[in-house]
Copies of this chain bind each other. A is one copy, B any other.
Amino acid sequence: MKFNIALLAGDGIGPEVTDQAVKALDAIADVYDHTFKFTKAPVGAIAIDQTGNPLPDETIELCKNSDAVLFGAIGHPKYDNDPSAKIRPEQGLLKLRKSLGLFCNIRPVKAFDRLIDRSPLKKEIIQGTDISIYRELTGGIYFGDKHLSEDGQVATDGCSYSVEEISRIAHLAFKEAQNRRKKLTLVDKANVLETSRLWRKTVTEIAKEYDDVELDFLFVDNAAMQMILNPSQFDVILTENLFGDIISDEASVIGGSIGLLASASVGSTVGMFEPIHGSFPQATGKNMANPLASILSAAMMLRHLDLHKEADAIEKAVEKSLELGITTGDINPEKPFSTSKVGDFIADFL
């Protein structure tokens, strides 16, 4: 089969790590007789440098006309100390999510046995953790009205959610739970927020269509505690945009391996696949960044394109690299392999 893949490598280590994902996909293409046509387009700080726009229209067009988007990372230190700069890399990412209708961000969080000792949490706590976080990605306070009074004294952000926005991601999350351990936890702040109460009501209603799934609720402050105290209690977590941002980043470090975590953003049209980690400016150009999250993003992409055998093959290759210690310095400080060496190993193994 033939697939058109938009390659949005972005900033910092983005290009280095997506290069390795491309190697892996090329190897898959050879073995399983597919064609992946990669087309590059700018996004983020690099797009601002080149065009003045963190998300040029051509990039959006390319993505819309592709079968999937492989994303690297965005962000550059020169914007970090000035979050009120008029033009910022993050705007590109937010606009991309909105333009492509990527309302559902999926983040698997898993304790890899081989890396469990690297977790900041004790082994007994983290063991067996296997969570799938469903974060709403195109609504809530991220996309509400923003306002600064003329005298600069009062700022406001609006947060809003509709039953429709809640329902479409809730159905996806319930279906995921049916394919897993059949438990769904809604994280909200229904004791304070009107939007959270609408989430709770809507999700409770939808739960009736999935009576094999056990639904429970956690206030977000409690969820932030439970994620550390007892992460293995969770199966699928469903939550709104801002809470998802916080809880999924918190969850991403408990496994001890943020360099291994991938995510998928799906919705109305094409899906987008990216590592959890950022653009890691300190490592840029040094051929030392861990490419496994990007490679696992490629696996998520394959699964989304219904190429399950192929996705399994990539995941197996990643496990092999962990087993043999053919990994970068973040995981393997004693005998680090370079970014490209790890990519070569995965491609060869495939």
Contacts and interface: CB of A to CB of B under 8 A. Distances in A.
Interface residues of A, number: 62
Interface string A138-174: 0001101011100011111111111110000000000
A238 to B, nearest CB: 16
Nearest to A123: B122
Interface in A264-305: none
A85 to B, nearest CB: 10
Q: How many copies does the complex hold?
A: 2
Nearest to A198: B155
Interface in A100-121: 120-121
A197 B83 contact: yes
Contacts of A196: 83
A252 interface: yes
A338 to B, nearest CB: 24
Interface of A is mostly: helix
Contacts of A60: none
A159 B160 CA distance: 11
Given A84-B197, A155-B160, A228-B250, 10 more contacts: A90-B191, A141-B157, A146-B193, A154-B198, A157-B194, A158-B159, A224-B224, A224-B246, A225-B253, A227-B250
A249 interface: yes
Contacts of A245: 189, 220-221
A192 interface: yes
Contacts of A146: 193-194
Given A122-B120, A159-B158, A198-B155, A94 B228 contact: no
A79 to B, nearest CB: 8
A83 B252 contact: no
